[in-house]
């Protein structure tokens, strides 16, 4: 059975249709890419899955149970965790404390939360920075911190919003390894990226969005050859070639 | 769980216990009534600022209406005593309950506002409360209420002319607020509240319920503020809206925390220890119309702290956090 099912989700913001009748499923254990040009509606769909916005129509099911409209707190409780396109760290708190906030969603004990947070930091390669204040981290470290914080909630589904965008090739490679390690832990991943060459080698399948609609769904090899995808990214002239 | 946080917390508890013993014993050798009065007020405002800090510091919800909870606390305990003969030793717990409840009632609509709008709303609610009590005859209106003088007893929490028992009562209040803050710092609330303060969207994505976090902080903060109000009423023996509910009380409750270090365990105590003696000295030495002058002194002090030590005076005592860890 599919872990996540998106059924006919539509969402408009003040007359601008961000998502129109979007449907697809996410299988357990896969890394799914959500790609498309700027303004395709990727982040909007992300926010719907994470519970931050409620779709105008359609529904989102996690393990067969409806999660759309429940709000972000309930979604986090059900096992959906996320990172943000523009990094949001708790800047007055240490790196360890940032991750503890996530860990407290599964335990009330400060000792247990700290232990879980330490393990998660170790897993994400941030253990040496645990005692630092979050604002002191470099941009790639902050993205790792977001992943660590999300993982600390023990999610079943992790939503990564442009986690690799804006990184140097080396940093992006390290990011890719982290995503693979997360998947190997049995956590299903959906990644939003608009840089195709980073995301395609990593994902098992990709959903391409354009102008708020699903353009195509397929394995990376098919996606890059699809004329519609080329048209959406590069324009009509290249599609003919 | 023997790590640096546990060690630091144990250390804090030891320091607090030492300070408490000192604060119990040392005033026994002070005979000067004015000095004792300054110490009593400093301890009271240390406790009140600690209570304010739970909501304003940890949770980042700046309240400029705490005079309302403070005043309601004084009125509840006083009126229960005057009208229903409930001894203040019990009445002060009713005052705490009412203070907490009032903070919840204010929070219910106002926490839907974010940032500065919450602060502005609390100013307005505080003023409304002040005007209501000023015009409400049952609670004495503008005339106020005298607490009938009874035989000195622990039950009535009246001690005649002897200031020392009052000092110990206020000290117990201050210690209780500190202990509450210390307990909070070891709980999940401490993390949730600071997450709410730093970034609401990220906090709720991690399963932190924003509204109930704010409400919990408000309830605890309001309850201790109401308790402090009840104790203050007992100490001064007479309350009216101007002496317990006026807007400047809200500022006076928040200032020690801001000056000492917002969101820190020791900031409120440190801030009160600096601010209240200075306020009392300046108003007694700068003449009867010194009210304006001591406010100018606060203003100057806050500007200096804001410029030189924006994290509050407490950060002077902290080892440099940003050096190599």
Average pLDDT over residues A145-167: 93
| Confidence class for position B317, pLDDT limits 50, 70, 90 | confident
- How far is residue A28's CA from residue A19's CA, in Å, rounded to a whole number? 24
Give counts: helices (H), strands (E), chain A: 10, 10
What DSSP designation does B153 have?
B
Contact at CB, A91 and B206, closer than 8 angstroms: no
According to the model, what pLDDT value does residue B324 have?
A: 37
Would the pLDDT of A72 be above 90? Answer: yes
Identity of the residue in B1, B191, B199 whose CB atom sits nearest the CB atom of A100:
B191
Q: How many residues does chain B have?
A: 325
What distance in Å separates residue B182's CA from the closest CA in chain A?
13
Q: By three-state DSSP, how is residue A95 classified? A: helix
Return phi, psi of residue B61, to 5°: -95, 100
List A4's β-bridge partners, or say none: A26, A62
- With a CB-CB cutoff of 8 Å, which residues 182-241 of chain B face chain A? 186-188, 191-192, 194-195, 197-199, 201-209
- Can you read off the two tokens belonging to residue A6? 């998106």
Which tokens belong to B236? Answer: 């001064």
Residues A155 and A79: beta-carbon distance below 8 Å: yes
Distance between A219 CA and the closest CA of chain B, angstroms? 30
> What CA dihedral angle connects B9, B14, B18 and B19, to 10 degrees?
0
DSSP letter for A161, please: E
Decide if B206 and A77 are in contact by the 8 Å CB cutoff: no
Residue written as token pair 């890719």: A176
Identify which of B255, B259, B225, B198 has the alpha carbon closest to the alpha carbon of residue B72. Answer: B225
The Cα A30–Cα A27 span in angstroms is 6
Residue B288 has pLDDT above 70, yes or no: no
Query: Which residue would you say has higher pLDDT here, B292 or A141?
Result: A141
Q: At which residue do the structure tokens 């599919």 appear?
A: A2
Residues of B in contact with A93 (CB under 8 A): 191, 194-195, 198
Q: Give φ, ψ of B317 to 5 degrees.
A: -90, -10
pLDDT of residue B322: 42
Q: Is the predicted pLDDT of residue A160 greater than 90, yes or no?
A: yes
Interface test with chain B among A100, A101, A107, A112, by most B beta carbons within 10 Å: A101
Summary mean pLDDT of chain A: 92
Q: Cα separation of A75 and B243, whole Å?
A: 49
In this complex, which of A93, A101, A133 lies closest to B206 when CB atoms are compared? Answer: A101
Predicted confidence at residue B291, as pLDDT, reads 60
Give me the mean pLDDT over the A157-181 stretch: 91
Nearest Cβ partner of A108 from B188, B194, B203? B188
Q: How far apart are CA B25 and CA B45, in angstroms?
A: 20
For residue A37, which phi and psi values (nearest 5 degrees)? -65, 170
What confidence tier does A241 reach under pLDDT thresholds 50, 70, 90?
low
Pairing of strands A65-66, B145-146: unpaired
Q: How many CB pairs below 8 A link A and B?
A: 86
* Residue B219 near residue B128 (C-beta atoms within 8 A): no
* Chain-centre distance for alpha carbon B176: 11
Is B290 a residue whose pLDDT tops 60?
A: no
Cross-strand partners of A7: A59
Q: Taking residues A114-118, what's their average pLDDT?
A: 96
Residue among B4, B199, B205 with most chain A CBs within 10 A, to mutate: B205
Taking the C-alpha atoms of residue A132 and residue A134, their distance in angstroms, rounded to an integer, is: 6
pLDDT at A168 exceeding the cut of 70: yes
Contact status, residue A213 vs residue A21, Cβ threshold 8 Å: yes
What is the structure's pLDDT at B321?
Answer: 44
Under 8 Å between Cβ of B264 and B314: yes
Q: What is the dihedral of CA B169, B171, B172, B174, to 10 degrees?
A: 130
Q: What is the mean pLDDT of chain B?
A: 89
Q: What pLDDT is attached to residue A124?
A: 96
Residues of chain B in contact with residue A105, where contact means CB-CB under 8 angstroms, are 206-208
For chain B, give every domain's residue range.
Answer: 7-247
Q: CA-to-CA distance for B102 and B110, rounded, in angstroms?
A: 12
- Distance CA(B70)–CA(B129), nearest Å, equals 11
Quickly state the pLDDT bin for B40 (edges 50, 70, 90).
very high
pLDDT tens, A195-223?
777 788 899 999 999 999 999 999 988 88
Give the Cα separation of A31 and B260 in Å (integer). 50
Confidence check: pLDDT of B134 > 70:
yes
Give me the mean pLDDT over the B295-312 stretch. Answer: 76
Residues of A in contact with B186 (CB under 8 A): 110
Q: Could you tell me the pLDDT band of residue B64, with boundaries at 50, 70 and 90?
A: very high
Work out the pLDDT band at B257, boundaries 50, 70, 90: very high
Q: Which of A76, A81, A88 sits opposite B199 (nearest CB)?
A: A88
- Comparing CA positions, the residue from A113, A111, A109, A143 lying closest to residue A129 is A143
ipTM: 0.92
The pLDDT confidence band at residue B114, using thresholds 50, 70 and 90, is confident
pLDDT of residue B105: 96
Give me the mean pLDDT over the B56-81 stretch: 94
In this structure, is the dihedral angle defined by the CA atoms of residues B152, B156, B157 and B158, taken in order, positive or negative? negative
Q: Do A92 and B197 touch (CB under 8 A)?
A: yes
């Amino acid at each position: 059975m599919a872990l996540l099912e998106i059924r006919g989700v539509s969402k408009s913001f003040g007359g601008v249709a961000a998502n129109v009748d979007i449907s697809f499923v996410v299988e357990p254990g896969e890394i799914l890419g959500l790609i498309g040009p700027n303004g395709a509606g990727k982040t909007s769909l992300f926010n719907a899955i994470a519970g931050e916005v409620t779709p105008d129509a359609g529904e989102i099911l996690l393990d067969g149970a409806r999660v759309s409209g429940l709000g972000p707190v309930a979604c986090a409780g059900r096992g959906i965790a996320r990172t943000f396109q523009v990094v949001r760290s708790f800047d007055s708190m240490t790196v360890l404390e940032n991750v503890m906030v996530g860990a407290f969603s599964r335990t009330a004990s400060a000792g247990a939360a700290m232990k879980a947070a330490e393990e998660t930091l170790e897993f994400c390669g941030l253990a040496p920075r645990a005692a630092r204040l979050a604002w002191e981290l470099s941009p790639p470290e902050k993205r790792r911190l977001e992943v660590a914080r999300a993982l600390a909630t023990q999610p079943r589904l992790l939503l990564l919003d442009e986690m690799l965008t804006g990184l140097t090739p080396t940093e992006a490679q390290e990011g890719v390894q982290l995503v693979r390690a997360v998947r190997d832990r049995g956590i299903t991943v959906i990644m939003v990226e608009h840089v195709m060459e980073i995301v395609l080698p990593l994902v098992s399948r990709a959903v391409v969005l354009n102008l708020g609609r699903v353009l195509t769904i397929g394995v990376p090899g098919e996606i890059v050859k699809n004329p519609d995808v080329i048209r959406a990214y590069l324009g009509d002239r290249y599609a003919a070639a | 769980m023997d790590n640096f946080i546990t060690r630091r917390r144990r250390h804090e508890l030891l320091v607090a216990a030492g300070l408490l013993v000192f604060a119990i014993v040392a005033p026994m050798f002070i005979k000067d009534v004015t000095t004792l009065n300054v110490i009593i007020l400093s301890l009271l405002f240390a406790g009140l600022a600690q209570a304010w800090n739970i909501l304003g510091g940890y949770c980042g919800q700046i309240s400029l209406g705490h005079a309302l909870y403070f005043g309601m606390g004084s009125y509840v305990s006083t009126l229960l005593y005057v009208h229903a003969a409930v001894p203040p030793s019990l009445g002060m717990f009713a005052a705490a309950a009412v203070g907490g409840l009032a903070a919840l009632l204010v929070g219910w609509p106002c926490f839907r506002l974010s940032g500065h709008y919450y602060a502005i709303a609390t100013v307005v609610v505080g003023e409304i409360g002040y005007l209501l009590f000023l015009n409400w005859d049952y609670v004495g209106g503008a005339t106020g209420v005298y607490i009938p003088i009874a035989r000195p007893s622990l039950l009535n929490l009246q001690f005649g002319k002897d200031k020392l028992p009052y000092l110990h009562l206020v000290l117990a209040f201050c210690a209780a607020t500190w202990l509450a803050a210390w307990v909070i710092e070891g709980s999940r609330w401490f993390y949730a509240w600071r997450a709410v303060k730093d970034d609401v969207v990220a906090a709720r994505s991690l399963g932190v319920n924003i509204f109930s976090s704010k409400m919990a902080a408000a309830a605890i903060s309001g309850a201790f503020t109401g308790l402090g109000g009840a104790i203050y009423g007992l100490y001064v023996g007479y309350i009216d809206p101007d002496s317990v509910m006026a807007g400047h009380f809200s500022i006076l409750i928040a200032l020690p925390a801001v000056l000492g270090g917002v969101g820190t365990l020791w900031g409120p105590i440190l801030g009160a220890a600096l601010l209240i003696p200075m306020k009392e000295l300046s108003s007694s030495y700068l003449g009867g119309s010194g009210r304006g002058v001591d406010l100018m002194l606060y203003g100057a002090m806050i500007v200096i702290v804001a410029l030189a030590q924006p994290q509050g005076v407490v950060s002077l005592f902290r080892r440099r956090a940003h050096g190599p860890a």
